[in-house]
Amino acid sequence: MCGIVGYIGKQNRAAEIVLDGLTALEYRGYDSAGIALMNGNAMQLYKQAGRVQGLKDLMATDTTFKNTAVAIGHTRWATHGIPSVKNAHPHHNAHQSIMVAHNGIIENYQEIKDKLAATGYVFTSETDTEVIPHLIDYYFMRLNSFQEAIEATLRDLRGAYALLVMSSLEPDKLYAARLSSPLVIGVLSSGAIIASDPSAFVGRTKKVVYLDDYELAIVDSSGNYKLRDFTKAKAVNKRTELLDFDSSAALLGSFPHFMLKEMHDTPATIRMATQGRLRLETNTVKLGGLETVQDQLRHIDRIVIVACGTSYYAGLVGEYLIEEIAGIPVEVQLASEFKYRSEPFSRSTAIMAISQSGETADTIAALKKVENYGVLRLGVVNAVGSTIARMTDAGVYCHAGPEQAVASTKAFASQVTVLTMIALYLSDGSSPLYKPVLKELSQLASKTEQVLARSGAIKKAAKKYAESRDFLFIGRGYGYPCALEGALKLKEVSYIHAEGYAAGEMKHGPLAMIDKDFPTFAVATGGALLEKTLSNMQEIKARKGPIVAIVTDGDKKVNKLSNDTLPIPASLEQTQPVLITLVMQLFAYYVAAHKGLNVDRPRNLAKSVTVE
Ligand code: BG6
């Protein structure tokens, strides 16, 4: 869950290019950072505990610093060994002639460490990664070919890795290899940038080559690259692809935080997700990414959705939509649990993986589990060309553009929009909900604009409750997954203990917690279940619990029971979740901003978790 960046080329600006890339990848981990620079046959190494800015400051004060044309760098999210200079990457061999930056986990590192230590190798860090430069050194001593030494090392490693290797033994080459963890080459006119994801070189090139598992890339200073499959020791041919998003999408603009910017991207995100797909004139939905499996889809009688975090809650909304509109039974499972469950699967079951990054290890593992089950594997993914997108048989891209803030916001809106279209696509149009939902979906973007225009009231309510120690979120029906997502958002960015609960469950336990200091966020946006929700709010009121309620414009009933009401434009129950959740995302953001917290980089979290 780290970010790695390497540059090799004709420009003597490797330090700047790599440091800019690391800054863009900080959402992947930010507890320590390091960079190694190739200077002739020597290498300079800088490491710092803390953010990339600290590393820049360290280098700025070093008079011996000399810029160069080859460098590799790393921003870390600790797995093995505490965040410290000693454990920061790049790691190296005893002579500092081999440098390695690594994202992932080497599962058999202890075994390798013991073997190498027995032959005299000395280890200076607590990391799993440090075995790699020593093992390359070990093989180089025996094989006398640097490339073969790397390939032999890669064949010994177990686990997940994206690696960058540079050596003063071969100063005009950079090596990159991948197994499970993402890695992409950005091809420049004279050189290349290799990174965990394209946001590290956005604005410098759109020409990319995605590495697949078991691939090794050897890149020279002109940017020429050779690809090899290191398990079969043979060459691989691959064309470059073009990125489909522009740099502005990845830049902050006038917003104070990416989280706020990305919430304000929601209307455009919904328009991007429905563009060319929602056809009002013919009342149809076109999903090109599913057309290749249309025949199989007709025979699907069960869908199992696997996902993590916010994507999981989008999946829960998808469950309601697909069951109600398309009449297909859906089960939503946490990917980290799914992998270790043993349950029966019939060939007429489809697996649907939902992921913003497309690189979440638990979700990848869930897909791997069923790869030989003969079941259809579908994907709802934002990151184009990501691992999950390439593992699935068919799917739908969300086209939400890069999401930088660790807490996911616009991606949730695009996932739910796509799931609504999938429900319509899978239904044969006979559902009485088909046309109304299709029409309502076409108006959703403008309704989110109305919610954003009401940020002032949401900010005011957030300030009022910012010092709360606990918070409960309740909802029924489509409001239930929204309550879960609202609680997650508040937890993620404000560190307040928040729980999402089905409103009907209150009296079976959570009501015990309620008192005048324990506020509740209630989803009370009309629909068939409003009366039920009102009685749950009564139960809270009777225990003096403060209530913030999300209501529909023109509501007369709810505001009698709530201390604060946050209205959303009227909409069908089926299309309310994006509106309700946007209010809760804004609320969480304003609470965290009011508390002066690092909204985009909350403590202990990372944007995409690429290790199990
Ligand atoms: C977490 C992110 O690491 O992973 C969450 O902080 C996200 O925001 C979750 O929802 C799942 O990620 P993805 O990329 O698979 O949707």
User: Which residue among 1, 357, 364, 386 has the greatest number of ligand 1 atoms within 8 angstroms of its CB, and so is best to mutate?
Assistant: 357
Residue range 151-165, pLDDT digits in tens: 999 999 998 899 999
248 pLDDT band, cuts 50/70/90, is low
Percent of the chain with pLDDT over 70: 98
The count of other CB atoms within 10 Å of the CB of residue 269 is: 28
Neighbours of 251 (CB within 10 A): 15
Is residue 355 within 6 Å of ligand 1 at its C-beta? yes
Tally of CA atoms within 13 A in the half-sphere of 476 that contains its CB: 18
User: Does the CB atom of residue 610 touch ligand 1 within 6 A?
Assistant: no
C-alpha to C-alpha distance for 250 and 237, rounded to whole angstroms: 30
Q: Is the CB of 491 under 6 A from ligand 1?
A: no
Contact 48, 55 (CB under 8 A): yes
pLDDT (mean) for 296-314 = 96
157 lines ligand 1 (CB under 6 A): no
Q: How confident is the model at residue 244 (pLDDT cuts 50, 70, 90)?
A: low
Concerning whether 482 is annotated as a catalytic residue, the answer is: no
Nearest CA to ligand 1 atom 15: 355
- Nearest residue to 430 via CA among 222, 283, 235: 283
Residue 548 Cα to ligand 1 middle (Å):
27
Task: Check if the beta carbon of residue 314 is closer than 8 Å to that of residue 363.
Answer: no
Per-residue pLDDT tens over the stretch 567-603? 999 999 999 999 999 999 999 999 999 999 999 989 9
Helix (H) or strand (E) holding 463: helix 455-465
Q: Which two tokens stand for residue 133?
A: 């430069």
- Whether 416 lines ligand 1, by a CB cut-off of 6 Å, is no
Give the residue, 414 or 39, on which the prediction is more confident.
Answer: 414
Ligand 1 centroid to Cα of residue 473, in Å, is 20
Output the average pLDDT for the chain: 93
Nearest atom of ligand 1 to the alpha carbon of 492: 6
**pLDDT, position 238:** 87
Confidence of residue 427 (pLDDT cuts 50, 70, 90): very high
Q: Which residue has the higher pLDDT, 11 or 139?
A: 139
* Architecture per CATH, 3-245: 4-Layer Sandwich (3.60)
> Distance between alpha carbon 550 and the CA centroid of its chain, in Å?
28
Residue 542 confidence class, pLDDT cut points 50, 70, 90: very high
How far apart CA 261 and CA 269 sit, in angstroms, is 12
Q: Determine if ligand 1 sits within 6 Å of the CB of residue 311.
A: yes
409 lines ligand 1 (CB under 6 A): no
pLDDT higher than threshold 70 for residue 262: yes
Q: Where are the beta strands (DSSP E) in 56-134?
A: 70-76, 91-92, 98-106
pLDDT at residue 40 tops 90? no
Residue 612: is its pLDDT beyond 80? no
Evaluate: CB of 315 within 6 angstroms of ligand 1. Answer: no
Residue 565 pLDDT grade (very low, low, confident, very high; cuts 50, 70, 90): very high
Higher pLDDT, 68 or 252: 68
Q: What is the pLDDT of residue 173?
A: 95
What are the Cα distances from residue 142, in Å, to 119, 135, 145, 146? 13, 11, 9, 10
Whether 72 shows a pLDDT value over 70: the answer reads: yes
CA 235 / ligand 1 centre spacing (Å):
34
Atom of ligand 1 nearest to the CA of 608: 3
Question: Quick check: CB of 336 below 6 Å from ligand 1?
Answer: no
Q: pLDDT at position 245, please?
A: 57
Catalytic residue among 2, 308, 398, 482: 2
User: Residue 144: what pLDDT?
Assistant: 84
Domain with CATH 3.40.50.10490 in the chain: 255-442, 453-599
Check whether the bond before 90 is cis (ω within 30° of 0): yes
Task: Give the mean pLDDT of 25-34.
Answer: 86
Mean predicted confidence (pLDDT) in 115-132: 95
Pocket test for ligand 1, best of 79, 305, 308 (most atoms within 8 A of CB): 308
Distances (CA, A) of 113 to 96, 99, 177, 448, 510: 18, 17, 21, 54, 49
Helix (H, G, I), strand (E, B) or coil at 543: coil
pLDDT at site 309: 96
Q: Rounded distance, CA 2 to CA 52, Å?
A: 12
The dihedrals phi and psi of 502, each to the nearest 5 degrees, come to -70, 130
DSSP string, 501-525: EEGGGGGGTGGGG-STT--EEEE--
> What stretches of 345-386 show up as alpha helix (H) in DSSP?
361-369
Is the pLDDT reported for residue 140 higher than 60?
Answer: yes
Mean pLDDT of 281-306: 94
CA distance 98 to 587: 49
What's residue 69's pLDDT?
93
Sign of CA dihedral 354, 359, 364, 365: negative
For residues 259-288, give the mean pLDDT.
94
SS3 332: strand
pLDDT at 169 > cutoff 80: yes
Segment 439-444 mean pLDDT: 96
Distance CA 402, CA 395 (A): 18
For the question of residue 2 being annotated catalytic, the response is: yes
Nearest to 330 by CA among 461, 468, 423, 434: 423
Centroid of ligand 1 to alpha carbon of 141 (angstroms): 42
Among 57-66, 144-153, 339-348, 591-600, which stretch is predicted with the lowest mean pLDDT? Answer: 57-66
Closest by Cα among 447, 291, 461, 449 to 378: 291
Residues 185-220 as b or e (16 or more Cβ within 10 Å = b):
bbbbeebbbbbbbbbbbbebbbebbbbeebbbbbbb
CA dihedral sign, ordered 191, 30, 387, 214: positive
Separation of CA 27 and ligand 1 centre (Å) = 11
Instruction: Note the pLDDT of residue 253.
Output: 77
Residue of 173, 339, 489, 607 marked catalytic: 607
Q: Does the pLDDT of residue 396 top 60, yes or no?
A: yes
pLDDT tens, residue by residue, 181-228: 889 999 999 999 999 988 899 889 989 998 988 999 999 999 999 999
Ligand 1 pocket check for 605: Cβ under 6 Å: yes
Which CATH architecture is the domain 453-599 placed in? Answer: 3-Layer(aba) Sandwich (3.40)
The token pair that represents 294 in the structure block: 């249309």
Task: Tell me how crowded residue 242 is: count the other CB atoms within 10 A of its CB.
Answer: 9
pLDDT of residue 53: 92
**DSSP-derived 3-state class of residue 48:** strand
CA pair distance 84, 88, nearest whole angstrom: 6
Q: What is the pTM of this model?
A: 0.78
| Mean pLDDT of all residues in 46-63 | 90
Ligand 1 atom index nearest CA of 360: 15
Cα dihedral 446, 447, 448, 450 sign: positive
Who has greater pLDDT, 31 or 331?
331
- How remote is the CA of residue 415 from the centroid of ligand 1, in Å? 12
Encoded tokens for 230: 């290191």
pLDDT band of residue 313 (cuts 50, 70, 90) is very high
- pLDDT value of residue 250: 57
The class level of CATH for 255-442 reads alpha beta
408 lines ligand 1 (CB under 6 A): yes
**Distance (Å) from CA 17 to ligand 1 centroid:** 27
- Indicate if ligand 1 lies below 6 Å from the C-beta of 357: yes
- Predicted pLDDT of residue 91: 97
- Is the pLDDT at 66 greater than 90? The verdict is no
Pairing of strands 278-279, 284-285: antiparallel
Q: Tell me the torsion sign for CA atoms 203, 209, 213, 217.
A: negative
Please tell me the predicted confidence (pLDDT) of residue 182. 87
**Cα–Cα distance, 275 to 285 (Å, whole number):** 10
Q: At residue 416, does pLDDT exceed 90?
A: yes
Q: Specify the pLDDT at position 118.
A: 96
pLDDT confidence band for 44 (50 / 70 / 90) = very high
Mean pLDDT for 521-527 is 94
CA–CA dist 410, 458 (Å, integer) = 18
SS3 347: coil
Q: What was the pLDDT predicted at 267?
A: 97
> How much is the average pLDDT of 79-106?
91
CA 323 / ligand 1 centre spacing (Å): 25
CATH 3.60.20.10, the chain: domain bounds: 3-245
